[in-house]
């Protein structure tokens, strides 16, 4: 049987730890999901180690004391680790919502061995192979921090012990560092909340870090990191920089001042509304202008009261707009607004595959001439980072062909038909769930997949075919009898887009309905899932995720926005706004992006 390598960079790991200071309430799991997605979309596999929600461990200790009056540390440990178990499950749910393939594992499922005092133990072993095997299906493994197992059950690692869990995972998995995400953007000479003269460090050695961190990083974790030569980073959510703790010389950091960027969101449908929620959750980074919609009265009653709506483009696209987010869809108004956004000096983030398929050369040229960012990750694959994978592989001439299930609506409907449901019911359900285009015939007839395939060709081979030249089969051509016959033969229908470069400098691209055997990876794609096989000289790379719907698509758009924010939000001095109209690094046809750090 063909071996499908789940990801091209399957063994590039990040260990990220999220402490209680960034998990203050249930809403914070979405923010943390953004941070994790930032890494997975560059092809990294992530171990996300989580603490309990803020205050939960204290509450559990207090409850344990109340009920048991401290009678048994071992049973108390069993109680207080529950905060981390709950937090790991919540993290898994938030990642699933965003369409990120995730596995949540309890310590005993990874043979995470601890030894010592039940309330102040150390970690002594991990079944590395068991963990690595889970990465065949998942991009993220969520592990509860703070405890492991000895022969008599769970024991905890002392307060702040999730830092130690992260350090040990980085050591056992051979990750290049453990990145501890806190509510401060690094280690300071003093508490920056109390001392305005406190300065941040870019780099510290282990002993200096222990002296100045005042418990910001668990002492035991620093000691183990030093002994095992694990690099530790302390960073905050969404930042590209960190304090690096390693065997090195101390380095104070230059002062950084960031200003919020003004965002004009065009459209408030399934995706636009999801994105606005993410923007509202980051007021220090983004200020939202009134959202451009056709009928403000329709959106206002149900929307968050902080959102304002307008049908006046001039009000939505204020003069001080930094970024335009196009979530209107279609190729009429959306097309002209995308061009004018870049002409007027705004960065453009869009999910509109039809506009990108038509105008990528024009829009890229405008972005390049004006020193602006053009981002459209969500246009293909929803939250599945296929374009990012291709951008990494294509410069190495590493792509021979790409095949993919790239329309979530068609996959959802084919799945329903395979279960014997009615076509019209399946279409209506896809519309209700927000997967389908405004006109679902765009999905059913293969037009949406053809647009996406054209963009894929561009990223895989540097060739943008005319979408009209991409042949396509429509779901309407598929009779219930054909589906039933396929099922009888053990086959399942999928809509598959495929492109391969020919040796005349052209590309053969088509959207087909294919009856596939159950052993084919696309056969396992359920509902709105997307999956892509990249044919490479070394074999096949398979990536999958959720290809449509509010949260996966909003996740990809928000990741694009955060990339733009990290590139452009720095002011030269407090209160002074600069940089967004400056020339930036030149863009080729691919999407420039920083590494996730």
Active site residues: 452
Counting contacts by CB under 6 A, is residue 180 touching ligand HSE? Answer: no
For residues 211 and 215, what is the distance between their CA atoms, to the nearest angstrom?
A: 9
Q: Which range binds ligand HSE by CB under 6 A, 199-207, 299-307, 434-442, 471-479?
A: 434-442
For residues 562 and 551, what is the distance between their CA atoms, to the nearest angstrom?
A: 16
Show Cβ contacts of residue 514 under 8 Å, excluding neighbours closer than 6 positions: 493, 494, 495, 496
CB nearer to ligand HSE: give 90 or 386. 386
Tokens at 520, concatenated:
């084919």
Task: Kindly state the smallest distance separating residue 546's Cβ from ligand HSE, in Å.
Answer: 10
Q: Which range binds ligand HSE by CB under 6 A, 10-18, 175-183, 404-412, 519-527?
A: 404-412
For residues 15 and 22, what is the distance between their CA atoms, to the nearest angstrom?
A: 16
Q: Which range binds ligand HSE by CB under 6 A, 38-46, 52-60, 74-82, 403-411?
A: 403-411
Counting contacts by CB under 6 A, is residue 384 touching ligand HSE? Answer: no
Tokens at 462, concatenated:
């540097």
Helix (H) or strand (E) holding 203: strand 201-204
CB nearer to ligand HSE: give 52 or 436. 436
Q: Which range binds ligand HSE by CB under 6 A, 94-102, 159-167, 433-441, 508-516?
A: 433-441
Counting contacts by CB under 6 A, is residue 409 touching ligand HSE? Answer: yes
Counting contacts by CB under 6 A, is residue 275 touching ligand HSE? Answer: no
Long-range contacts of 134-138 (CB under 8 A, 24+ apart): 134/103, 134/105, 135/6, 135/7, 135/10, 135/45, 136/6, 137/6, 137/101, 137/103, 138/101, 138/102, 138/103
CA distances from 124 to 147, 171, 504, 557 (A): 11, 11, 58, 41
Task: Kindly state the smallest distance separating residue 402's Cβ from ligand HSE, in Å.
Answer: 16
Token pair 């056969």 in the structure block, residue: 523
Counting contacts by CB under 6 A, is residue 408 touching ligand HSE? Answer: yes
Return the ∠ at Cα 184 (arms to 180 and 188), rounded to 5°.
100
Task: Kindly state the smallest distance separating residue 553's Cβ from ligand HSE, in Å.
Answer: 6
Q: Which range binds ligand HSE by CB under 6 A, 36-44, 228-236, 251-259, 406-414?
A: 406-414
Counting contacts by CB under 6 A, is residue 382 touching ligand HSE? Answer: yes
Task: Kindly state the smallest distance separating residue 548's Cβ from ligand HSE, in Å.
Answer: 4
Task: Kindly state the smallest distance separating residue 425's Cβ from ligand HSE, in Å.
Answer: 17
Show Cβ contacts of residue 106 under 8 Å, excluding neighbours closer than 6 positions: 85, 88, 144
Contact pattern for ligand HSE over residues 439 through 458, marking x by CB under 6 A:
----x----x----------
With CB under 6 A as the contact rule, the residue among 8, 213, 243, 407 that binds ligand HSE is 407
Task: Kindly state the smallest distance separating residue 552's Cβ from ligand HSE, in Å.
Answer: 9
CB nearer to ligand HSE: give 384 or 584. 384
Q: Which range binds ligand HSE by CB under 6 A, 123-131, 183-191, 318-326, 436-444?
A: 436-444
Pairing, β 201-204 against β 251-252: antiparallel
Interface of this chain with ligand HSE, residues 522 to 581, rule: CB under 6 A: 547-548
Taking the CA atoms of the chain, what radius of gyration do you get in angstroms? 25
Per DSSP, what are the bridge partners of residue 404? 497, 532
Counting contacts by CB under 6 A, is residue 163 touching ligand HSE? Answer: no
Per DSSP, what are the bridge partners of residue 348? 324, 374
Q: Tell me the residue nearest to ligand HSE as measured from the CB.
A: 409
Counting contacts by CB under 6 A, is residue 350 touching ligand HSE? Answer: no
Task: Kindly state the smallest distance separating residue 173's Cβ from ligand HSE, in Å.
Answer: 34
With CB under 6 A as the contact rule, the residue among 135, 435, 461, 493 that binds ligand HSE is 435
CB nearer to ligand HSE: give 122 or 442. 442
With CB under 6 A as the contact rule, the residue among 357, 363, 436, 455 that binds ligand HSE is 436
Return the ∠ at Cα 589 (arms to 583 and 594), rounded to 5°.
60
SS in 3 state form for 311-357? CCHHHHCCCCCCEEEECCCCCCHHHHHHHHHHHCCCEEEECCHHHHH
CB nearer to ligand HSE: give 6 or 552. 552
Task: Kindly state the smallest distance separating residue 342's Cβ from ligand HSE, in Å.
Answer: 22
| Number of neighbours of residue 51 by Cβ within 10 angstroms | 27
CB nearer to ligand HSE: give 163 or 448. 448
Helix (H) or strand (E) holding 471: strand 471-472
- The residues that touch ligand HSE, with contacts defined as CB under 6 A, are 382, 407-409, 435-437, 443, 448, 547-548
């Amino acid at each position: 049987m063909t071996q499908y390598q789940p990801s091209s960079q399957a063994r590039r790991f990040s260990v990220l730890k999220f402490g209680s200071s960034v998990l203050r309430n249930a809403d914070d799991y979405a923010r943390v999901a953004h941070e994790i997605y930032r890494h997975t979309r560059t092809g990294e596999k992530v171990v996300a180690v989580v603490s309990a929600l803020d205050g939960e461990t204290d509450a559990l200790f207090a409850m344990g004391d109340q009920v048991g009056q401290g009678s048994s540390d071992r049973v108390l440990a069993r109680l207080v680790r529950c905060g981390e178990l709950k937090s790991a499950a919540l993290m898994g749910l938030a990642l699933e919502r965003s369409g990120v393939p995730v596995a949540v594992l309890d310590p005993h499922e990874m043979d995470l061995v601890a030894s010592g005092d039940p309330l102040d133990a150390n970690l002594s072993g991990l079944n590395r192979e068991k963990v690595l095997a889970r990465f065949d299906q998942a991009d993220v493994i969520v592990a509860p921090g703070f405890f492991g197992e000895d022969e008599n059950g769970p024991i905890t690692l002392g307060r702040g012990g999730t830092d130690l869990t992260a350090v040990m995972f980085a050591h056992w998995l051979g990750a290049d560092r453990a990145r501890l995400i806190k509510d401060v953007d690094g280690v300071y000479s003093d508490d920056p909340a109390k001392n305005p003269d406190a300065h941040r460090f870019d780099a510290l050695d282990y002993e200096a870090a222990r002296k100045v961190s005042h418990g910001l990083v668990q002492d035991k974790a620093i000691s183990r990191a030093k002994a095992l030569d694990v690099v530790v980073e302390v960073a905050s959510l969404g930042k590209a920089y960190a304090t690096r703790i390693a065997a090195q010389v101390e380095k104070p950091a230059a002062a950084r001042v960031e200003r919020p960027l003004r965002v004009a969101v065009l459209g408030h449908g399934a995706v636009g509304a999801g994105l606005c929620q993410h923007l509202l959750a980051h007021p220090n980074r983004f200020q939202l202008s009134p959202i451009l919609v056709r009928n403000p009265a329709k959106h206002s009653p149900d929307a968050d009261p902080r959102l304002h709506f307008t049908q006046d483009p001039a009000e939505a696209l204020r003069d001080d707009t930094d970024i335009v987010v196009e979530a209107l869809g279609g190729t009429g108004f959306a097309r002209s607004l995308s061009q004018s956004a870049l002409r007027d000096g705004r960065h453009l983030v869009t999910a509109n595959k039809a506009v990108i398929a038509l105008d990528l050369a024009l829009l890229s040229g405008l972005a390049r001439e004006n020193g602006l960012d053009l981002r459209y990750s969500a246009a293909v694959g929803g939250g599945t980072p296929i374009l990012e994978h291709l951008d990494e592989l294509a410069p190495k001439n590493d792509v021979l062909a790409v095949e993919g299930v790239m329309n979530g609506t068609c996959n959802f409907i084919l799945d329903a038909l395979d279960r014997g449901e009615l076509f019209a019911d399946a279409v209506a359900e896809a519309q209700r769930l927000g997967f389908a285009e405004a006109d679902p015939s765009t999905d059913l007839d293969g037009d949406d997949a053809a647009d996406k395939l054209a963009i894929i060709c561009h990223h895989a081979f540097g060739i943008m075919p005319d979408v009209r030249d991409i042949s396509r089969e429509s779901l309407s051509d598929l009779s219930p009898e054909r589906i039933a016959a396929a099922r009888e033969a053990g086959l399942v229908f999928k809509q598959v887009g495929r492109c391969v470069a020919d040796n005349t400098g052209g590309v053969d691209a088509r959207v087909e309905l294919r009856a596939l055997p159950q052993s084919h990876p696309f056969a396992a794609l359920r509902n709105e899932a997307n999956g892509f096989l990249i044919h490479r000289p070394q074999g096949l790379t398979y990536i999958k995720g959720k290809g449509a719907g509010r949260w996966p698509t909003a996740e990809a758009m928000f990741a694009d926005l955060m990339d733009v924010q990290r590139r452009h939000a720095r002011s030269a001095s407090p209160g002074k706004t600069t940089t967004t109209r400056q020339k930036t690094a030149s863009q080729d046809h691919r999407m420039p992006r920083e590494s996730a750090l």
